Amino acid sequence: MLVGTGQDGCRSTALAAPVAARANLPTLQALAEKFRDDAKALDPRIQECWVGYDEIAGGPRDMRVMAVYFGRTDTPFVRPAISASDAPATITSLFPQWQAARQDPESEGEDEAAARMGRYVALQRRITAMRPGTVREAAMQFVVESDDGESEYREAFYRRLRRLAMEG
């Protein structure tokens, strides 16, 4: 505490307190674990808990918690079986279809060729519109975009590919 006398002869006091250091904040992982423990205390039926992470975002894993899933004894967490037909299409799954549609059989009639070319163009548009998840998918996308090296790529495709490369 500081005590002083002003010009007018009055005493004044000031209290100096240290500025509180920035508190150590818990990580998202720690908060998710506390949430899990508190939820189990409230609902004893909770038997299982999973923490889901954002595996695409950067930064430390304990700061990328996206979800907390609970399994209860009366409603256990069961992952539904996904058949190949229900699975979402990816560049990797569509690429062989595009390759097959690209084949030009000699015994093909005019109507069959038109239908095949329609599939080829539809697959090409779909594949090049998707966001690649791996380097291999980006390469597949470029092969599709350039008709396996027989055509030039579109400027719009290049801009999208460049934007992907520059993300950071």
If you average pLDDT over residues 128-138, what whole number do you get?
89
Mean pLDDT of the chain: 78
Domain range summary for the chain, segments of one domain joined by +: 28-72, 91-166
**Among 27-31, 67-71, 123-127, which range has the highest average pLDDT?**
123-127
b or e along 142-161 (b: 16 or more beta carbons within 10 Å of the residue's beta carbon)?
bebbeeeeeeeeeeebeebb
pLDDT at 97: 94
Contact, 127 vs 153, CB < 8 A?
Answer: no
For 88, the token pair is 């979402």
| Entry pTM | 0.49
What pLDDT is attached to residue 148?
93
Q: For residue 29, what are its two tokens?
A: 């992982």
Q: For residue 14, give the 3-state DSSP assignment.
A: strand
